Structure 1
Amino acid sequence: MGSTFGGINTALTSLYAQRRGLDVTGQNIANANTEGYSRQRVTMRSLNTNTVPGMYSMSNEAGAGVVVSSVDRLRSAGLDQRSYIEHGTSAYHTERAGSYGLIEEVFAEPSDTALQARLQDLWDGWNAVAMNPGQAAPKAALLEQATTAAASLNDAAASLNNQYTTNRTGLDIRTAEVNKTAAEIAKLNKEIVVATAAGLQPNELADQRGQLMLKLSDMIGATAQTLPNGSMNVYVGNAALVSEFTSQAIEVAPGSATRLEDLATTGVNLRWVDTGLPVNAGGTMGAQMELLSKGGTLDEISGRLDKVAAALAKTVNDLHSTGYSIDGTTGMNLFIAGGGVPAGTPITAANIAVGITDTRQLAVSAGDPTGTPPVLDGSIADSLSDLGASKSGADAEYQSLIGDLGVVAQSSMRRRDIQVSVTEQVDAARDAESGVNLDEEMTNLLTYQRGYEAASRVLTTIDSMLDQLINRTGLVGR
């Protein structure tokens, strides 16, 4: 038979448990707007006086009260894993679409001030010269138009190189950030394992780790595996970035290209520091590697822009060098590789320049104006004006570049939009599982409050009973 005083302890355990429930509910409400916070729930179990029943040690008491067995972090491991994957994919497509958007801004087609319009102005200029081969004004205008076309190619090449440099710097910054985040996860793994072994609930630490893991999935497409001891292994591709309490480092290999023109001799290598093997990056860094690598997006676009410049120079120079200028000069090239590059350097978008500054040196005639008899017919200029319609000229090459770029950019943006929608759905499902619902928390608050009040009433009742027993029993006959 239980002691009369045993009821006090039963009520006391209830007070402790209900207060713990109130504390946890208050913690949930306080962090309702905290990013990455997972709501917590108190799990209670009744205390049984017959915990280890025996033949001669049994009790018929109702129980010994209640105890909080755990404070659970409400989180779906499956949704977390799905979220890491979808966030990495979303970051990849977002970065890729953004890069194509910036490349499209470089060319800004269609526009009255873009390269296509400048090329058309050049062909119109040759047509004006063909109609007035002996006048200096149309030739001066032509030289200005040729200079503008070359400058447009120079500017486009410089913009592509600036985009390369910016992304290359960003790759270095993100590499350092990945290493720092991986080290923090390894540190949190140790703290969580130690806390769990000590019987503590490391819920807030797990939330911090989850946020860092989400950051890694965005940056490098990392995935995770939670171990039975509470630690987490993090993988990039099939290689472990974090293995329990140890993190591995990645680096951009020394000597990697820092400018677009450096890709002709070297590439960009993202590798593991310990093994030197390439990192199979996803997320934002995966898109950056696709953009920066030798043969990658910027390298390909730059190479095709160089083909436009080379086609412009070749087609114009081939015709121009066969003609005669008004002073009888022949064999001159209109476009050259400028910028002080060595002789024989191929013409590219970055170095194309106009090599003629004197209008009298423009070769516009098929005959020699200084010959006998003199011939000044403007037929070379007329032939040059027709190059805009050539299927192998600069215009055709440029239109093919812009067309292909537009298709790929539009496709990348559509894939980004679809992936963002998928990611938002996964995040919504995860938030429904782990996010704080204030209506639910208010209900829990009232439940624990009433439980606390009821336990207090039990304690008051037992106190009254004991007062009756101690102070009023046995007074008869005194």
Structure 2
Amino acid sequence: MTDDKNRVVVEEVSLTKEEFMKLDQCRVVWTNKEGQLLDVDGKPSTTDMVKFTPSSGELKGYMSVQEDVDKYIDQLNKLAKSIAYSVNAVHGQTNDATKDDCLFFVNKDNATAAGEVEITAGNISINKDIIKNVMLIKTGKDGGGESDGTRALAIAQLMDKLMEVQKVTEDTDRESFINVLCDGLELNSEGIQTVKGKTSGMKVNNYFKDVTDALGVQTQQAKRMVKNQFVLLQSFEESRASVSGVSLDEEMANLVQSQHSYQANSKIIATVDELLDVVINGLKR
């Protein structure tokens, strides 16, 4: 139904992530004059929805922007989940979230081991228990310790580990991330279990740099296209004006010409009038 703010709510329709993103990107659905989205009996399906997908134009431009935004959100979600999994694995010394008694990074909407798999760039957060009591941070080999920072150092060194961040999906959990995308855990020289790293992966900061570089290149390309299209539009407008437009100089010259012609015609008429007057009046005498 349509509420007071003219927003449409689609009910009783099950959507996959891909179907929802497609509908979100299209944004426009065709309805009848009563505002009804579907014309079916019973429970509707996604195939019954008619999505507006133009091939060009302003709306197509807005839709392509939405697609780009979704792409960058997905890339940032991969990055956030990779950081959370790797840090939590070293901090908890396990690749099994259910065996981790104090998660460092959590899903702020569900700060449990089960909620870890749902971590995104939008909900990643530091565990509130750690914020309230920093002594819960495991910095040493055997947990806390004033003079032992070996585990904290191992966490800091994660920035140099190679991970297949680009292969992270919504369903990737900590165990599959560590074992498959990082080649598992290994003991370092200090006896701390840390991420082994995968030769086909990349560093976290390099992945983030690639994302920001791609965004920068796309931004510059968009600016160039806007500039080029503006110059092209100006050229078309000038060409149109040269063919169908009005030249003030030309119109002024034509006006002066017409004025001189009018004056010449007036003189001829006056001369003929005088001649006729002489002839007619002369004959009377």
Alpha-carbon separation, structure 1, partners of 2:136 and 2:103? 10
Aligned match of 2:108: 338
CA contact (8 A) 1:366 1:376 kept: no
CA contact (8 A) 2:81 2:120 kept: yes
Aligned match of 2:16: none
Q: Does 1:282 align with 2:52?
A: no
CA contact (8 A) 1:335 1:354 kept: yes
State the Cα distance separating 1:399 from its structure 2 match: 1.6
CA contact (8 A) 2:23 2:51 kept: no
Aligned match of 2:125: 353
Aligned match of 1:453: 263
CA contact (8 A) 1:338 1:353 kept: yes
Matched residues, number:
206
CA contact (8 A) 2:141 2:151 kept: yes
% of aligned pairs identical? 24
The gaps in structure 2 that reach 5 residues or longer are 1-5, 11-18, 33-49, 95-99, 164-202
Aligned match of 1:420: 230
Aligned match of 1:315: 86
Secondary structure in 2 matching 1:391: coil
1:76-87 aligned within 5 A: none
Aligned match of 1:364: 139
Pair 433,368 (structure 1): closer, same or farther in 2 beyond 3 Å: closer
State the Cα distance separating 1:361 from its structure 2 match: 0.3
Indicate the structure whose relative CO is greater, using CA pairs within 8 Å and at least 6 residues apart: 1
Secondary structure in 1 matching 2:106: strand
1:236-251 aligned within 5 A: none
Alpha-carbon separation, structure 1, partners of 2:30 and 2:268? 65
State the Cα distance separating 1:381 from its structure 2 match: 1.0
- The one-letter code matched in structure 1 to 2:104 is L
Aligned match of 1:234: none
State the Cα distance separating 1:425 from its structure 2 match: 2.0
Pair 272,346 (structure 1): closer, same or farther in 2 beyond 3 Å: closer
Pair 450,464 (structure 1): closer, same or farther in 2 beyond 3 Å: same
1:84-123 aligned within 5 A: none
Alpha-carbon separation, structure 2, partners of 1:299 and 1:383? 33
Q: Normalized against structure 2, the TM-score is what?
A: 0.60
State the Cα distance separating 1:422 from its structure 2 match: 2.3
Instruction: Give the number of the structure whose residues are more often strand, by fraction.
Output: 1
CA contact (8 A) 2:139 2:149 kept: yes
Alpha-carbon separation, structure 1, partners of 2:250 and 2:120? 66
Alpha-carbon separation, structure 1, partners of 2:269 and 2:204? 94
- The CA RMSD measured in Å over matched residues stands at 3.5
CA contact (8 A) 1:322 1:331 kept: no
Q: Normalized against structure 1, the TM-score is what?
A: 0.38
Alpha-carbon separation, structure 2, partners of 1:341 and 1:459? 103
Alpha-carbon separation, structure 2, partners of 1:315 and 1:352? 13
Secondary structure in 1 matching 2:284: coil
State the Cα distance separating 1:300 from its structure 2 match: 0.7
- 264-273 or 400-409, larger mean C-alpha shift: 264-273
Pair 282,458 (structure 1): closer, same or farther in 2 beyond 3 Å: farther
